[in-house]
A and B are shown apart, each in its own frame.
Chain A
């Protein structure tokens, strides 16, 4: 009965590789998000999709490309991984039509680039 799930939980890879992180939510929400949490725990939004449409695209390198096949899934593909990409990536979902903006977070994917 997991609400927001992410796979994998841990990802260790070498510089230059391409990797993907998957996210799924079963809450019936229409909006999904990707956040990056750095080593100092600062959480910064990267992307947001509403009904498969990109609505928030922060200043993120082009190497990061989100893909939303349907409103329950939002995947994150990262090309040519760099050391600075090491972080914990969180997926979240919420209702854009709601008035509260409350978001539900997945457990995170810890990416380590060596």
Chain B
């Protein structure tokens, strides 16, 4: 499996419901980030959680990180139709050299929120 794998691959919910997406990774990390990609657009940074943090909030977003399990989850509360997009987790590894600044992305979760 690849670094930064998201689960599920696709998620379909109704407006107002919560959406939870999970991400697993393999190597030690400096931080883990979540990005959103609307159809036909570039990725937009949503939230970053550092390896020494366990939970972080930003508006309707809640991210958790469990470094012992090498996993993270993104929760979007009270979802809206405008949240329809693909969501990617990306990990930044520890160490310098060519690893410095390098993000490794998973294949993403496609979220569809029905009005």
Contact = CB atoms under 8 A, between A and B. Distances in A.
Contact of A40 (B37, B101, B107): B107
B42 A42 contact: no
Nearest to B107: A42
Contacts of B35: 105
Interface string A77-114: 00000000000001010101001111111111000000
A: interface residue count bin: 20 to 34
Interface string B42-79: 11110010000000000000000000000000000000
A15 interface: no
Contacts of A31: 101
A48 B97 CA distance: 12
Interface residues of B, number: 25
B98 A42 contact: no
Interface string A3-34: 01000000000000000000000000001000
Interface in A45-96: 45, 48, 50, 55-57, 90, 92, 94, 96
B68 to A, nearest CB: 22
Contacts of A40: 107
A100 B40 CA distance: 26
A44 B2 CA distance: 11
B42 A106 contact: yes
Contact of A105 (B44, B98, B108): B44
Interface of A: 4, 31, 35, 40-45, 48, 50, 55-57, 90, 92, 94, 96, 99-108
10 contacts: A42-B2, A43-B43, A45-B104, A55-B98, A56-B102, A57-B98, A101-B103, A102-B33, A105-B44, A107-B42
